Structure 1
Amino acid sequence: MSATPELRHLRAFVTVAEELSFSRAARRLHIAQQALSSQIRQMEKGLEVQLFQRTTRKVELTQAGRTLLAHALPILKSFDIACEQTRRAYSGEIGQLSIAYTPTVAAEALPKLMLEMHRQHPDVSMRACEMWQAESVAAVDEGRFDIGFARCPKIRGDLECVSIREEPLGIVLGSAHPLASTDIVRVADLADETLTIWPRSLSPGFYDRVVEALRAHRFDGPIHEFENLGSGVLFSDTAARVKVAECRAFSVAFPRQYESLPPGYVWRALEPAPTVPLHMFWKRAGGATVSKLVAVARHVSRRELWMAPEPRGDDGSLVAAPGTGTKGALRALPDA
């Protein structure tokens, strides 16, 4: 009864077939010639064929040997590729990443991160899905997504979280609004205006950060939450859009978020300008591919100078950022 050769036998056979010399093949394989001859005999016995014609002067392949060589070469090549791909997958050089992100991240930050990730690791495929902050945290915590990007997320479970960007927040006004005549609007001048913003239940961390920052500078107006959620931006909600256009409300936005506003709307900077951090978060046991994206995000953050200096008091101590309850814990970008 014939037996299937082991992979080591197949590699030994191919080496002898390529060298047509047992002594040279043994040196190439770093084994004794006697051990190599024994492996070939075992292979011939198991297959019940003769693979080589041996004389004292030369070694030649038989027809059976030539047939086996034609099949053995692609088998060994495929196995070597499989081993290399396995090592690369383990190190995070290849694989798949699923990314959860909130609406305001799509304007600039996420495209830059994904572009750099593709440049450094072209064999990692990425799938990105927009969702609200609360949902994105749950998606990563439950393992449905590998990594998330959101503003001031309320972190839970076994998640790592780090800030990669501090971005100033501005406002969107109707172009006929009295405050639209200046390039910079003082927060105090918004004291009695209506703020229109997405529901707190969907993005509690961002909502709290924005409202607390405005309240800290005398804003005391009513808050209107979006009714039509759409993609989470102002112009997906008809009621909010009309309120702003008619100068009955204002909304908040980052500089790049509304670079091309439709007629009737303007973006204005705030004084003082509240900064809102962008965080990335992932499970502690996220794997090598996640670690690659984390490293890329750190690299892009430093290259683009995304991080503002941490706020410090007169005595040099860290000052708690509004809405976080922590003194710089999520603001600093740790070294890789």
Structure 2
Amino acid sequence: MPTASSTTTSGRLLSLLSLLQARRDWPGGLLAQRLRVSERTVRRDIDRLRELGYPVQAVKGPDGGYRLEAGTQMPPLLFDEEQAVALAVALRIAAGTGTGIEEAAARALATVRQVLPARLRQRVDALRISAAGRGTDPQIDTGLLLTLSAAIRAGEELRFDYRSPGQPEAAEPRAPRRVQPHHLVVRAGRWHVVGWDPDRGDWRTFRADRMTPRVPNGPRFARREVPGGDVATFLSARFKGSEATDSWPCRGEVILDLPIAKVAPFAGDGVVEQLGTARTRLTAGSWSWAALAATLARFDTEIEVIGPPELRAAFAELSRRAGRAAGAG
């Protein structure tokens, strides 16, 4: 929160602007108290902000006050040091969201960097943020994201065509889908819409890049609470194949004839325990027993299954499949 340590007019204007952005209405007396100046000085500084293009409106009432409104044009932007660094970090990360705004983000970052003090510029230049896996991730049109966000904000049902995995873009369109959208979420570089499907009576997750909204939107709907109350946890659970909690539906325990140093880096969210110089206990999970057995087999060592029986049966089936594959060669 800004303080009155800045005695210059420019520093005080920056503090005043930060305060006006922090809450909707500010009584003039409270602004003067926070800035440690007179109310007359606050009025003069408000006039200076207006001259710079900031639409600061006077608020009527017993205390009087001010409100920063949305304007018709973008005025000069003022940031404190923490805001400037945070903006630079956000612009660097923007290239990893798959929204197709990489060039614009790079130009904006260059503009911000140009006006930063040397010491802040060094901090920004020291940032090394890379977007992994962007080579095959689909690009999302910014207009599509705005359309989806607008429907969520308005609480309006979405009507859309949905392209299934493997379906070519030129394929014959299927019957339109509909969903009551609640959240637009990024996971692993891909955008997803989380919402209630009224036709199926359940929550559904849709890849945004496969959605083609139809116009107009459907009727308004009453918002629901996502199961568990947290959309990130809900989405993580769905991608693990779990309907209730953020946990794998299939979990097993094995002992690997490997030192813990060779197991831990590849254990994911599993739990590892050292049993000796060359033996490690690993408890891990997956969406199916077959997938768990195949995942554990990649350690390329002797495996002792502790449990449960379903994991042992999955290894037996995996062995039979491997044997048939070897015989076919």
TM-score by shorter chain over 0.5: no
**TM-score if structure 2 supplies the norm length?**
0.21
Structure with the greater relative contact order (CA < 8 A, sep ≥ 6): 1 or 2?
A: 1
